[in-house]
Structure 1
Amino acid sequence: PYVGAVITIYHKNGKLIIEIVYKDGSTSEEELIETQTPAGRKLVEAEGSQFGEYWLIKPDGKLQVFDDLGLITTYITGTK
């Protein structure tokens, strides 16, 4: 579901938000909750995830996605 998407994580009205814009133009936006872990900043959906998905921003800036089975992918990151 993350292939061909632009992912933006930002603060809006005091909340941490992830916005995903897919190649077909559809979008999704979710509120995230952040915790600090030894591996980096762990971001989970505020409403929970059916498959245990979470995002990890590593100390080197890489963005990774995990689920209850492990690592799904690592994204190329940039800043605006």
Structure 2
Amino acid sequence: MTDPIRAFLSHATSDKAFVEKVAEQLGRAAVVFDAFEFATGDDLKQAILSGLDKAEIFVLFASRAALSSPSWTALAERAVNTRS
């Protein structure tokens, strides 16, 4: 049996409830989702990079709230560029 393809779910804090529902529908084995993977006190950048290493797919939840957040867009851009 092969491991499922894992998707890194990138989202803004304001979209967390919606993305969590998506993550729950897909299942823990199929996603890298912050609430499932990151621990309190983790270095956020390292946690994201580690999560990206575990994923084959990058899913960007680009809501209006996310796109209007300078910190979120910068972090998402850095994460993608680091792995390209």
Structure holding more helix per residue = 2
The normalised TM-score by structure 1 is 0.27
Structure holding more strand per residue = 1
Q: Which has the higher contact order (CA 8 A, sep 6+)?
A: 2
The normalised TM-score by structure 2 is 0.26
